[in-house]
């Protein structure tokens, strides 16, 4: 039993000593912007660009890294424009929904035939 523990310990030490495989990923940081019920959600992701073209691009959860101030401010300005566009789109959808609800509420409702006959009979009784 002690030998099994020693072997397991040695295997763990060998695995820990082995260098981790490094994988190079090419691509760029992008902002993922989506409209949700709570508001506009923004997250940073990494869009991969496969070097050989055989793989499809993937989105990986990673922080955005800006190499210099000019690039950072340019990307932030683009993000601002995108967020404003999402809020504008949501406002248009909201206005369309309110208009549709108002139109549906203000439509004259058709009088059911039985009720129409009762109204006519009441009008005739008053006239007589």
- At 9 the pLDDT is 45
C-alpha 20/C-alpha 113 separation (Å) is 81
C-alpha 122/C-alpha 111 separation (Å) is 15
Supply φ then ψ for residue 41, to 5 degrees.
-100, 135
Residue 60 three-state SS: strand
Structure tokens belonging to residue 103: 């139109």
- At 7 the pLDDT is 47
- At 16 the pLDDT is 53
- At 80 the pLDDT is 94
Q: 10-residue block means of pLDDT along the chain (128 residues)?
A: 45 54 80 88 88 80 86 92 93 90 77 58 55
3-state helix, strand, coil in the chain (%, to 5): 55, 20, 30
Residue 103 three-state SS: helix
The answer to whether the CB of 125 falls within 8 A of the CB of 71 is: no
- At 21 the pLDDT is 79
């Amino acid at each position: 039993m002690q030998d099994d523990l020693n072997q397991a310990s040695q295997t763990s030490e060998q695995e820990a000593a082995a260098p981790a495989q490094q994988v190079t990923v090419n691509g760029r940081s992008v902002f993922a912007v989506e409209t949700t019920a709570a508001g506009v959600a923004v997250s940073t992701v990494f869009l991969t660009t496969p070097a050989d073209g055989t793989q499809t691009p993937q989105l990986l959860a990673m922080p955005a890294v800006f190499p210099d101030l000019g690039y950072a401010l340019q990307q932030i300005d683009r993000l601002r424009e995108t967020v404003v566009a999402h809020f504008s789109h949501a406002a248009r959808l909201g206005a369309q929904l309110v208009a549709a609800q108002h139109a549906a509420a203000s439509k004259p409702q058709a009088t059911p035939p039985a009720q129409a006959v009762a109204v006519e009979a009441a009008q005739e009784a008053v006239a007589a």
